[in-house]
Every structure is written in C-alpha cells, then in structure tokens.
Amino acid sequence: MTPTWLDTTEAVDKVFLYIFGISLALLILITAVMVFFIIRFHRSRQTKPKDIPSSCLWLEITWTLIPTLIVLSMFWYGWQGYLSLTNVPSDALPIKAVARQWSWSFVYPGGRTSSKLVVPAGKAVRIAIVSEDVLHSLYIPAFRIKKDAVPGMTTHVWFRAPESGSFDLFCTEYCGLAHASMITTVEVLPADEFDSWLQTPQEAAGTAKSRQLLEQYGCLACHSLDGTPRIGPSFARLAEGEKVQLAGEAEKSAIVNREYLKRSILDPQSEIVQGYPAVMPSFRDKISEQDLQLLIDFLLQTDKTSTSGERRP
C-alpha cells in the first residue's frame, strides 16, 4: 500500500470491511455445514454411525493452512491500516489535549484554550495528548481514532475532518467516578471561520474570562453554575458569608470568604463539604495567583450564570 495519507476513517473502515466480510462468510459456512450434518446424520435418518476413519492428515493440514493464510492477510491488512493512523501528514495543525479527572482542555498554537476540540474542515490536525492525573483515553468514533492519555508521557493521534459539523469525543479509559461524563464535542468549522476563531483573543478579565478559566482548569466537570448537583457542590450557592456544613464527627462548619475559597481550591482535602466525596484534586502549583484571584472574584459574585460577553466557538 502506498502512503496515500488516507484519512483515518477510510483506512480503518477498509480493514473492518475486510475482516467482517471474511468472518461472516466463515461463520455462515461453519454454521451451515454444522446444521446440515445435524439434519443429515440425525439419529432418525442415520440409525447406525458410518464406519469411516476418524482422522485424516490431509484434511488437518488443509484446515490449518487455509486459516493461517486468512489470518496472515488480515494481520497484514490491519497493520497497513494502522500505519495510516500513525503517518501524520506533515502539514498537520498541532493541538495539545490535556486530560484530567474529568474534563478535557485543548491548547492551540498561540495559547488559545478551549474545552471543545475546534478544528478546521479539510485540514489534518495532530493532537498531542497528556494527562494530569490518571489514565484517560481520547476517542473520536467518527474519525476512528483513540489513544490513551498516560501520566508522564505524550501520545499522539491525527485525523482530518472532511467537512464541518460536530462530533462526539469520549474518554474511554476508565478514570473513576465521572468517567462517563468526560465527554466533549469536536466542532469542525470551515477553514476561514476556524482561522478567525483562532485569532480571536481570549478575554483578559471579566466574567467571560472567568468562565473560560473554569473550563480550562476543569472545574465545570464537577461543579455546575446553575445549582444542579454534580460530583461537587454547585457554585451557584456560594455567596459571601454563607455557612457551609463540613464533614466530620462534630458539627463542623465554615464561612464562605476569600480565605475559605482559596483553601478549597489549593488544599481541598483539608475541609470536605458535608455529603460530598473527597475527590477534588489540589490545584496548588497548577493555577497562577492571578487566575486564582480571578476565580475567587467570580465565585463570590452572585449572578454566575449570566452569559453576557460569552462567545460561542
């Protein structure tokens, strides 16, 4: 097979077709022969078993060799298909995917970040995948690609979306409590729209910036803004001076203020909110002081769901 930069979907589907085709034929053949024998040689038709030899070297050799050839061809074809998945076109746009419990964020050349994977139509993209905690796996069924995110390692996939549209992106390596909600979308934009999206500067401050930080750090995987309970308590109920019931033997509680929020983010295990699991990771050394202050400002704000100033991708 010549390295034709087959698109990943095509490359994999051809192999699927080949293996499924042969398998189906074999399955039907074997089942049909079996059923035929059962009918033909049923006791009611064949009262005495025939006296025929119970081994035959030639048969054994034949039905060892033929499957060998079949599986070798499947192997070879599958391997060629796999090579297409590893042959990244040289003009591919590099994007970095960061996986963490339980959200994705994508970093573009130039520093723009997004919680959805936004890609240009018709152009190859190469995604470098890293993990911040445990194993995850980036899976886009529509493009037949999947690769684990392994702590301490960078792995890669590439694909090319032929036309615009939106597709699902799943985490397929079990990663704990909210593995099943570690889902996001691949937005395929026409090339020019993509360029302008990429050029748009991200907010420096304000609500939209905070929203974007919440997505970037993965807070929204566990906290909602509108009051719906997720893995962690919703941010909606946070307000200056409110009392928070903490887990523990005694009736412990804390008052929401800047200090409390800072502790909650940098050292979440120290105080656990009553009724929630202690799964929030510490963001110490992961979040800059500036971003932290922005987030705290935002969390203390009363109207957090307002979407004014938010820009859709």
Partner 1 sequence: MGKVIRMGEFFRRGFLESTGEQPSLFEWIFSTDHKRIGLLYLYSISTFFAIGVTLGLLIRLELIAPGRTIVGPDTYNALFTLHGVVMIFLFIIPGIPAAFGNIMLPLQIGARDVAFPRLNLLSWWLYIIGAIMALSSLAGGGGPPDTGWTFYLPFSGETTTNVSLAVFAVFILGFSSILTGLNFITTIHRLRAPGMTWTRLPLFVWSLYATAWVQVLATPILGITLVLILAERILGLGLFDAARGGDPLMYQHLFWIYSHPAVYIMVLPAMGVISEIIPVFARRPIFGYKAIVASSIGIAAAGSLVWGHHMFVSGMSDTAILVFSLLTFIVAIPSAVKVFNWVATLYGGSIRLDAPMLYALTFLVLFSIGGLSGLVLGSAATDVHVHDTHFVVGHFHYVMFGGTAFAFFGALHYWFPKIFGRMFNEKRAAWAWGIMICGFNLLYFSMLLVGLRGMPRRYYDYLPQFAQLNRLATYGSWVLALGLLFMAVNLLIALRRGKHIGANPWEAATLEWTVDSPPPPENFAVLPTVTHGPYDLEQAGEP
Q: Cβ distance 112 to 124 under 8 Å? A: no
Q: Which of 115, 130, 136, 225: binder of ligand CUA (CB under 6 A)?
A: 136
Q: Which stretch binds partner 1 (CB under 8 A): 9-17, 115-123, 192-200, 290-298?
A: 9-17
Q: Cβ distance 162 to 151 under 8 Å? A: no
The interface with ligand HEC within residues 224-253 (CB under 6 A) comprises 231-233, 238, 244
The interface with ligand CUA within residues 56-115 (CB under 6 A) comprises 99, 102
Q: Which stretch binds partner 1 (CB under 8 A): 108-116, 167-175, 254-262, 289-297?
A: 167-175
- Where do runs of H (alpha helix) occur along 120-278? 191-199, 206-216, 258-266
Which one of ligand CUA, partner 1, ligand HEA, none is in contact with 102 (Cβ closer than 5 to 8 A by kind)? ligand CUA
Q: Note whether 71 binds ligand HEA by CB under 6 A.
A: yes
Q: Cβ distance 106 to 116 under 8 Å? A: yes
Which one of ligand HEA, ligand HEC, partner 1, none is in contact with 195 (Cβ closer than 5 to 8 A by kind)? none
Q: Which of 104, 139, 170, 283: binder of ligand HEC (CB under 6 A)?
A: 283
- The burial of 52, by beta-carbon neighbours within 10 Å (0-12 exposed, 13-18 middle, 19 or more buried), is given as exposed
Nearest of 266, 230, 231, 259 to residue 244 by alpha carbon? 259
The interface with ligand HEC within residues 151-180 (CB under 6 A) comprises none
Residue type for position 260: Y
Q: What is the dihedral of CA 46, 47, 51, 52, to 10 degrees?
A: 20
State the chain's maximal CA–CA distance in angstroms: 93
- State the residues that interact with ligand HEA by CB under 6 A: 26, 30, 67, 70-71
- State the residues that interact with ligand CUA by CB under 6 A: 99, 102, 136, 171, 173-175, 179, 182
